[in-house]
C-alpha cells in the first residue's frame, strides 16, 4: 500500500533517527509525539511502501540500534539530502510545524549549497562540530558567536548576509517561519 516513509530525530538529543512508514502522517505524528517527552523533528518525508521502508532499513543496517531507530550518521543525512520532491510532499500534507526555519538556518543552507561543500568539510574547516551545524540548519539558535564568525569566514560571506534577512532587513530572532529541512550537499 502506498504511504509515506519518514525520517525523524529527537530535538533535544539528535543521536538517533527513526525511519518509519505510515499511511496517515497526521495520526502517526500525534502518536509518535504522544509517546515521546521530547519534541520530534521530521527530517524528511517521502512517498513509499513497507517494502521501500525495509529496503532503507537494510541500507542502514549497520547503524540500527533498536527497532526503527538508527544512529544519527552523516550517511543518513546524505541520503536525505539526495531525496527529491520532499518540500512538495511536506506542503501537500500540511505539515507546517515540523522543522523550524530561521533566517540564519535558511542563509546557512543557501551558502553551503552555493559553495557546493559538505557539512563535514565546513565542520572541519571552520572548527564547528557537525552536530552543531546540523542543529543550526534545522533551526536551532546559535549560542556561540565565534563559531558563527568562523562559518562566515569559511563561506566567505559577511555576518550580516548570514544573519539578516535581506528582503525584510530583520534579525533572525525577530522573524520565524516553518518549513522543511533544506537540501544541502553532504557528499
pLDDT digits (tens, 9 = 90+) for 35-84: 888 888 878 787 788 999 999 999 999 999 999 999 988 788 777 766 64
Of 93, 127, 145, the position where a domain reaches its end is 93
Q: Do 36 and 72 fall within a single domain?
A: yes
Alpha helices in the chain (DSSP H): 25-34, 50-59, 74-81, 86-93, 103-115, 119-126, 130-137, 145-155, 159-163
Clarify whether residues 63 and 108 are in a common domain: no
Residue 43 falls inside a structural domain: yes
What is the tens place of the pLDDT at every residue in 89-102?
Answer: 444 444 433 344 56
Residues 23 and 58 placed together within one structural domain of the fold? yes
For residue 186, tell me if it sits in a domain: no
Higher pLDDT, 181 or 3: 3
Q: pLDDT at residue 161 above 50? A: yes
Residue 156 belongs to some domain of the structure: yes
* 89 and 142 part of one domain: no
Question: What's the pLDDT at 22?
Answer: 93
Tell whether 104 and 141 lie within a shared domain.
yes
Residues of the domain holding 141: 99-179
Do 62 and 123 have their domain in common? no
The answer to whether residues 81 and 10 belong to one domain is: yes
What nine digits make up the cell of 42? 521530521
- On whether residue 24 sits in a domain, the answer given is yes
Quote the CA–CA distance of 148 and 163 in Å, as a whole number.
9
If one counts the domains in the chain, the total is: 2
CATH number assigned to the domain comprising residue 27? 3.40.1440
Identify the pLDDT of residue 70.
Answer: 94
Same domain, 58 and 120: no
**Residue 182 to residue 107: CA distance in whole angstroms:** 10
Q: By C-alpha distance, which of 133, 159, 45 is closest to 93?
A: 45
Q: Which helix (H) or strand (E) holds 47?
A: strand 40-48
- Domain boundary, last residue among 61, 93, 125: 93
- Select from 93, 128, 144 the last residue of a domain: 93
**Do both 12 and 86 map to the same domain?**
yes
What whole-number distance in Å separates Cα of residue 159 and Cα of residue 55?
42
Amino acid at each position: 500500500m502506498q504511504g509515506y516513509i519518514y525520517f525523524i530525530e529527537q530535538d533535544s538529543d539528535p543521536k538517533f533517527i527513526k525511519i518509519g512508514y505510515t499511511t496517515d502522517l497526521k495520526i502517526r505524528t500525534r502518536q509518535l509525539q504522544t509517546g515521546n517527552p521530547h519534541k520530534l523533528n521530521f527530517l524528511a518525508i517521502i512517498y513509499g511502501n513497507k517494502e521501500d521502508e525495509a529496503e532503507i532499513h537494510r541500507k542502514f543496517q549497520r547503524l540500527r540500534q533498536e527497532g526503527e531507530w538508527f544512529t544519527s550518521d552523516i550517511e543518513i543525512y546524505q541520503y536525505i539530502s539526495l531525496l527529491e520532491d520532499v518540500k512538495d510532499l511536506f506542503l501537500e500534507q500540511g505539515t507546517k510545524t515540523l522543522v523550524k526555519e530561521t533566517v540564519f538556518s535558511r542563509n546557512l543552507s543557501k551558502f553551503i549549497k552555493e559553495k557546493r561543500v559538505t557539512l563535514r568539510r565546513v565542520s572541519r574547516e571552520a572548527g564547528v562540530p557537525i552536530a552543531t551545524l546540523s542543529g543550526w540548519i534545522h533551526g536551532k539558535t546559535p549560542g556561540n558567536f565565534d563559531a558563527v564568525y568562523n562559518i562566515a569566514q569559511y563561506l566567505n560571506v559577511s555576518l550580516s548576509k548570514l544573519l539578516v534577512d535581506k528582503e525584510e532587513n530583520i534579525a533572525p530572532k525577530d522573524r520565524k517561519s516553518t518549513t522543511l529541512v533544506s537540501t544541502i550537499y553532504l557528499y
